[in-house]
A and B are shown apart, each in its own frame.
Chain A
Amino acid sequence: MGSDRKLRVLIAKPGLDGHDRGARVIARAFRDAGFEVIYTGCHQTPEQIVSTALQEDVDLIGLSILSGAHMYSFPRIMELLKEHNAEDIVVIGGGIFPTEDIPKLKEIGIKEIFEPGTLLEDIIQWVKTNVKPRGAAEAA
């Protein structure tokens, strides 16, 4: 059954900011929670992120951004996923977001935004509840 395989997660850092503490901590936490984790490293363009996500056949993309450039990179990533018929990949965001941007990000399909102070445990729980391996629904 499809849902037996481990969740595959891409942690990605769009844009030019180098604040990677959160990304690296969540990557480790996801790995310790039993997910397969791929981390892009800093300074990725939306094109690079989507291409890695497709190549690695991930179920979830976690975008970490602290530069304030999310209103450019997040919509662009969602657009590219759509172009590649990969809208079923769940996308979440972590970092610093002005409150009024959060509903806008959810509107374009970002499933959840995790803000500063969120505990790892809560994020892992959210993923376990909300993300299933891709194709699992069809297989079931």
Chain B
Amino acid sequence: MGKKMFSESALERMEKEYKEWLEVYKKALQRIPERLERFSTVSDMEVKALYTPLDLKDKDYFEEIGFPGMYPFTRGVQPSMYRARLWTMRMFAGLGTAEDTNKRFHYLVNHGETGLSTAFDFPTLMGYDTDSPLAKGECGKCGVAIDTIQDMEILFKGLNLEELTTSMTINPPASVIWAMYIANAENQGFDRKKLGGTIQNDCLKEFIAQKTLMLPPEPSLRLVVDTVEFGTYEVPRWNTISISGYHIREAGATAVQELAFTIYDGITYVEECIKRGLDVDAFAGRLSFFWNSHIDFFEEIAKMRASRRMWARIMKERFKAKKPRSMLMRFHTQTAGCSLTAQEPYNNIIRTTTEALAAILGGTQSLHTNSLDEVYMIPSEEAVTIALRTQQILADEVGVANIIDPLAGSYFVEALTDKMEEEAMAYIKKLDELGGMIEAIEKDYPQMEIADSAYKFQQQVEKGEKIIIGINKFPSPKPDLEILKIDPEIEKRQIERTQRFKEKRDKVKLQKCMDELRRRCEGPPCWENNVMPALIDAVKAGATEQEICDLYRDVFGIYTDPGTF
């Protein structure tokens, strides 16, 4: 009893007075009824009118909430949080050619951004060079086109890669792009042991939501484990997987589904790395996470707080991790693209600000804030500046970064945090019963759960049960916004550059590297067959992204979207 937050006598009085209030409340509703028949979060989780200590009557502060930087990390992963160091302001950027994106990187750093984040174009994301017939019309549209180590060199020109950390959103070809990054950094005189950053490298959520598809699940996981293993020994400051809920949420998942499926992906990666023979405490500290911060303010804060506690418990209890570092969940957050509207786009600044505030109160380690025009296109310089300034205002003016986890102890936030964990754990149990994530993916389970939620949300919007200002309340036409345009001519220039690069290579040396890579891919997964050293040699010898991915596709097979709905 001594560990409970409220004494028996206090709770007794609370119970009595709560009932009295309930009567008063009901009477008030007779005069003015509530605005809605049912109040729920954007994920449709029902919320009550009032939360009190009664909602926390069984809560054990020490076991469930604790202190910042200490197990179970509900209140944050660092003891000092933002009082010592603010979150990393990391704007996802990529457009046109490597030159264009390098210019944007410098612009953002000069305006106070503190970490880099790279968006690649679709051909790069899917393992195709710009000269592939499948890449037609896509070059530089949704990110930067990277075919070779030469592009990588241009992309990071003039940026100190031992000081700035770099995040790269790349999944099936993550090993290839990471090899290009390491190889280029070494060519520039940087030490791979000092390189810091993140590759997203989360293949499981591709099958579930993002649909950047290349190889079947099993070999995809093998490559992920290769990168974790290599990072553990060779690039110790690198986050080798960014286990991502963002895309799961954007595809229509609820907050609970985002939490559950993402954490289960994390469980799967840990299991696979242990199977390879890695000690959990040797690699778990380099796993990081990536959450979506959607429009429902408290739901997001509760989700983030619950995620830290869940991961800590899973790492300790399920995987017997011993180091606290293995149990603490560090995460990046991006505000929700799917919450933005093309109609009245300036309203998106308000949405993004609210979502960014939730991410900060949720204790994020880094943050991307969407630009007001991202419903239309890659952001213009003006729009991205407002988005970056949003973070800086929240950091330096608003005062929210001065107190650690200020919402702890809120009856509502704690109760919602518990509910998030409880419902997500039910999904985790279900996934265990299905035989794990790969089996679940093959059964189309998480995919269809998300499709159900997406459809349900859209129907709620159509019925006016969920409101989007400018869409189903105060509807407004889409204005003609001044947007950034990607010159279609860059495709031709990029193809020419890649072809010139290919002509200059030492073909014998390149072939030797590719043969060694193939030998490793065809061999059983183990350190001796880890693809990373061979990849670094291959890209230094001039192998293009697609040449390596074609080799992967040849050895491991191809996975295509089953197209269910």
Contacts and interface: CB of A to CB of B under 8 A. Distances in A.
A16 B134 contact: yes
Contact of A117 (B376, B455, B478): B478
B562 interface: yes
Interface string A81-117: 0000000000000001011000000000000000111
B136 to A, nearest CB: 5
A21 B454 contact: yes
Contact of B451 (A28, A116, A120, A121): A28
Contact of A16 (B122, B252, B461): B122
Contacts of A27: 565
A29 B563 CA distance: 16
Contacts of B211: 18-20, 42-43
- Classify the interface of chain B: helix, strand, loop or mixed: loop
B383 to A, nearest CB: 15
Interface of B: 122-123, 125-126, 128, 134-138, 141-142, 206, 210-213, 250-252, 338, 341-343, 375-377, 451, 454-455, 458-459, 461-462, 468, 470-472, 478, 480, 483, 485-486, 488, 560-565
A40 B563 contact: yes
Given A18-B213, A117-B342, A25 B563 contact: no
**10 closest Cβ pairs, A-B complex:** A41-B563, A72-B137, A18-B211, A41-B561, A16-B122, A69-B137, A68-B141, A24-B565, A27-B565, A42-B561
Nearest to A71: B137
Interface centre among A43, A71, A99, A115 (most CB of B within 10 A): A43
Given A18-B210, A21-B250, A119-B461, 14 more contacts: A16-B122, A25-B451, A29-B455, A42-B211, A43-B211, A67-B122, A68-B141, A69-B122, A69-B141, A72-B136, A96-B342, A98-B485, A115-B478, A120-B459
Contacts of B342: 96, 115-117
A98 B462 contact: no
Interface in A29-80: 29, 31, 37, 39-43, 45, 67-73
A99 B128 CA distance: 29
A42 B470 contact: no
Contacts of A15: 122, 137-138
Contacts of B488: 71
13 contacts: A16-B122, A16-B125, A16-B128, A21-B251, A29-B458, A41-B561, A42-B211, A43-B126, A43-B561, A69-B136, A117-B468, A117-B470, A119-B461
Contact of A21 (B123, B252, B485, B560): B252
B458 A17 contact: no
A92 to B, nearest CB: 17
Contact of A24 (B377, B454, B485): B454
A17 to B, nearest CB: 6
Given A28-B451, A43-B213, A43-B560, A116 B136 contact: no
Contacts of B462: 119-121
B452 to A, nearest CB: 9
B377 A68 contact: yes
Contacts of B451: 24-25, 28
Contact of B377 (A21, A40, A98): A98
Contacts of B470: 117
A44 B137 CA distance: 14
A114 to B, nearest CB: 11
Contacts of A99: 478, 480
Nearest to B374: A96
A96 B455 contact: no
Nearest to B459: A120
Contacts of A96: 342, 375-377
Nearest to A45: B134
A72 B564 CA distance: 26
Given A28-B565, A115-B342, A116-B342, A67 B478 contact: no
Contacts of B250: 21
Contact of A42 (B128, B213, B376, B455): B213
A117 B458 contact: no
B141 to A, nearest CB: 4
Contacts of A24: 451, 454-455, 565
B122 A17 contact: yes
B445 to A, nearest CB: 15
A67 B142 contact: yes
Given A15-B137, A117-B478, A120-B458, A41 B562 contact: yes
A16 B212 CA distance: 8
A16 B138 contact: yes
Contact of B123 (A16, A37, A120): A16
B376 A98 contact: yes
Contacts of A72: 136-138
A21 B249 CA distance: 10
A23 B251 CA distance: 11
A23 to B, nearest CB: 8
Contacts of B455: 24-25, 28-29
A68 B486 contact: yes
B443 to A, nearest CB: 17
Nearest to A16: B122
A131 B239 CA distance: 52
- Of A23, A28, A43, A117, most B-chain CB atoms within 10 Å: A117
A69 B483 contact: no
A95 to B, nearest CB: 11
Which of A18, A23, A115 is most buried by chain B, counting CB atoms within 10 A of its CB? Answer: A18
B458 A67 contact: no
A21 B451 CA distance: 8
Contact of B141 (A41, A45, A67): A67
Contacts of A68: 138, 141-142, 377, 486
A69 B122 CA distance: 10
B95 to A, nearest CB: 11
B478 A116 contact: yes
A84 B328 CA distance: 59
Nearest to B461: A119
A73 B458 CA distance: 27
Contacts of A11: 565
Contacts of A70: 137
Contacts of A20: 211, 251, 561
